[in-house]
Amino acid sequence: MAATGYRVVHLTAYHYAAPVSLSHHVLHLLPRPCAWQQVKDARIEVDPPATRRIDREDVFGNPEVRLSFEAAHTELRVMSHLYLRVDERPWAARGDHGPPWDTVQAALRLEGDAPLEPRQFRFESPMVRVKHLLSGYAAPSFPPGRPLLAAVADLVSRIHADFSYDPAATQVGTSVLDVLAQRRGVCQDFAHLAIGCLRSLGLAARYVSGYLRTDPPAGQPRLVGADASHAWFAVWCPGHGWVEFDPTNDCEADQRHLLLAWGRDFGDVSPLRGVIQGSAGHSLSVQVTVTPDE
């Protein structure tokens, strides 16, 4: 299948209740190139202009932009413009489910022979705990000897069946154990839950942020600004590398999934975070438009 082109516009607007005299922000809004994704255009527009801008890579190799504003302002608009070409993921054509999951678990132990890079994604991170409750939930999908990717696909299907998508149920800081208890959440929660389950079994899993192509109902135009950021996860599998799954939609990541960044959890790759000085409150609006290049 030929690569699919996408144009993405992502607008974040802050409106402050009082002038902000100083602010610093970290952005993960520029996509990383990879074997299945070519970045043809990626730029960020900021209003008001930043006093200082630093473009760099973070510890995981993601493009990162740091902005400082040292003049008083009552609003901030950050708009990214992207043009990507997305191909099929390389593992999609392999047609096998990898080695037994418990063999992979053994390889990832300290005395195992797994590479160093996936090992950092075995352990707890600030937003993903390693708990017996999580390994207990995952256990029915992981009987001894089951191929890793088949087991992960089963876990993803169970999360999709057992949990309801409910934007009002959680906040950015809601814990994975709270999500497990209430069985509701959003894509970020379901990605964190799957990652917590896999790490609790001694496997390596990382958080992936990006966008998802959604199609309007038949006969209706695509709405501007109606899309949103999306989240899914990847599991490390020998012979395949990192294989991405989307528990919100019960599928492997494919050409509809546009990758921005990966890390241990959402906190590593938040699209925009920062600190401000001088305002007692603010309102926030986010608009995302993902348009396939027909």
pLDDT above 70 as % of the chain: 96
Work out the average pLDDT over 115-122: 95
Work out the average pLDDT over 90-118: 89
Q: What is the reported pLDDT for 112? A: 86
Q: pLDDT at residue 35 above 60?
A: yes
Q: Which one-letter amino acid corresponds to residue 73?
A: H
The DSSP H or E segment spanning 102 is: helix 101-108
The CATH architecture annotation of domain 91-268 reads: Roll (3.10)
- Average pLDDT of the chain to the nearest whole number: 93
Token duo for residue 207: 């958080």
Q: Is the domain defined by 4-87+270-292 classed in CATH 2.60.40.2250?
A: yes
Displacement of CA 13 from its chain's centroid (Å): 21
Indicate the domain borders of the chain. Answer: 4-87+270-292, 91-268
Q: What is the reported pLDDT for 95? A: 73
Work out the average pLDDT over 99-119: 94
HSE value, Cβ hemisphere, 13 Å, CA-based, for 133: 10
Tell me whether strands 164-165 and 184-185 are parallel, antiparallel or unpaired. parallel
Asked whether the beta carbons of 245 and 159 are under 8 A apart, the reply is no
Q: What is the reported pLDDT for 177? A: 96
Higher pLDDT, 71 or 279: 71
62 — pLDDT class (breaks 50, 70, 90): very high
Identify the weakest region by mean pLDDT among 59-63, 86-90, 142-146. Answer: 86-90
Q: Which one-letter amino acid corresponds to residue 192?
A: H
- Using one digit for the tens of pLDDT, what is the confidence trace for 213-255? 987 777 777 655 558 899 999 999 999 999 999 999 999 999 9
Q: Give the span between the Cα atoms of 183 and 164, in whole angstroms.
A: 6
Token duo for residue 93: 């054509």
Higher pLDDT, 145 or 90: 145
Q: What is the reported pLDDT for 294? A: 67
Token duo for residue 255: 């050409």
Q: What is the reported pLDDT for 147? A: 97
Q: What is the reported pLDDT for 224? A: 59
Asked whether the beta carbons of 99 and 147 are under 8 A apart, the reply is yes
Q: What is the reported pLDDT for 27? A: 98
User: In Å, how far are 119, 238, 249, 293 from 254, measured between CA atoms?
Assistant: 25, 20, 11, 16
Q: What is the reported pLDDT for 222? A: 65
Q: pLDDT at residue 130 above 80?
A: yes
Work out the average pLDDT over 20-42: 96
